[in-house]
Amino acid sequence: MIANFLIGLREGLEATIMVSILVAFLVKTGRRDRLGAVRWGVAVAVALPVAIAVALAVAAKALTFEAQELLGGTLSIVAVAFVTWMVFWMRRAGRSLASHLTDKMRAAVGVSAFAVGLTAFLAVGREGLETVFFVYAAGQATGQTWQPLVGAVLGLAVAVVLGWALYRQTVKLDLRRFFTWTGAALVVVAGGVLAYGVHDLQEAGVLPGLHSLAFDVSAQVPPSSWYGELLKGVLNFSPATTWAQAIAWTAYVVPVLALYLRPQRRPAAPAASSSEAPRLRAVRSDAHAA
């Protein structure tokens, strides 16, 4: 639940910052008539991941046990790939995010309302797809309970409130530190999802070594204990871990975390446009900080 709260909070805040940048651009350039297109684009971007999640849940129930494990393992690996790409993309492109989005919106406004809505859909939809795959994989790892969904919804709700407060400039947040440390935490969580995905593939018979354990601390960390549940919910930790799971976790987390936390060279800041209004500059400033 905590891990999914984190993914909901991070992805939701990214999405709300993007929407804030698009709305601020339209308001300050006098194109409020295009705000409706942004709302439709965001609504479709939210509805699409929900539809995919429902389709996955329904389809999984119709499969055999081995097919369910194969689907779960495959989606876990896809979710890890999405999250890994997302945290590195945000680390690299965060400083130019505002200018990139406003350039796209400036071009879309001159075309049609549909182009404006499509720009909003593409900006938000990617975050939704990343979230739904990750939450689905985490739900499989924690026993298909409602807790991962509740955690993700709470995270998204907090992100919307926080994003609105940032847009209204009623709170201040060091977004660079927020995205850096939540990104590092997500890499560790993703390592657990990857390890569980490997276990799914072993149960499906795709990978060998299902009964070859690297360690078994079930006596010291019972899965039904509160700390066992906590480790499972936060890190997807399995007291009985196979060699393939241990190798996959180590081979992913150690190098990815080292690459992610390495010092990053800061490029020279571009000159700000004199035509931009104060609110748009404030939003851009926050996005640069990320």
Q: Give yes or no for residue 140 having a pLDDT over 80.
A: no
Task: With both helix axes pointing from N to C terminus, report the angle between 113-141 and 35-61 in degrees, rounded to the nearest 10.
Answer: 30
**Mind listing the pLDDT tens digit for each residue in 209-263?**
888 999 999 888 888 787 887 787 677 788 899 999 999 999 999 999 999 988 8
39-48, 54-63, 84-93, 271-280: which is most confident: 39-48
DSSP annotation of 30 reads T
Higher pLDDT, 135 or 23: 23
Higher pLDDT, 240 or 177: 240
User: Considering Cα of 11, then 157, then 129, then 229, what sign does the dihedral take?
Assistant: positive
Share of the chain above pLDDT 70, in %: 84
What is the per-residue pLDDT for 56?
Answer: 80
DSSP one-letter string for 92-119 = HHGGGHHHHHHHHHHHHHTT-HHHHHHH
Instruction: Calculate the average pLDDT of the chain.
Output: 79
Higher pLDDT, 245 or 180: 245
Distance CA 167, CA 209 (A): 51
What is the per-residue pLDDT for 287?
Answer: 44
Distance CA 162, CA 246 (A): 37
Decide: 152 and 1 in contact? Cβ < 8 Å.
no
Q: Give yes or no for residue 267 having a pLDDT over 70.
A: no
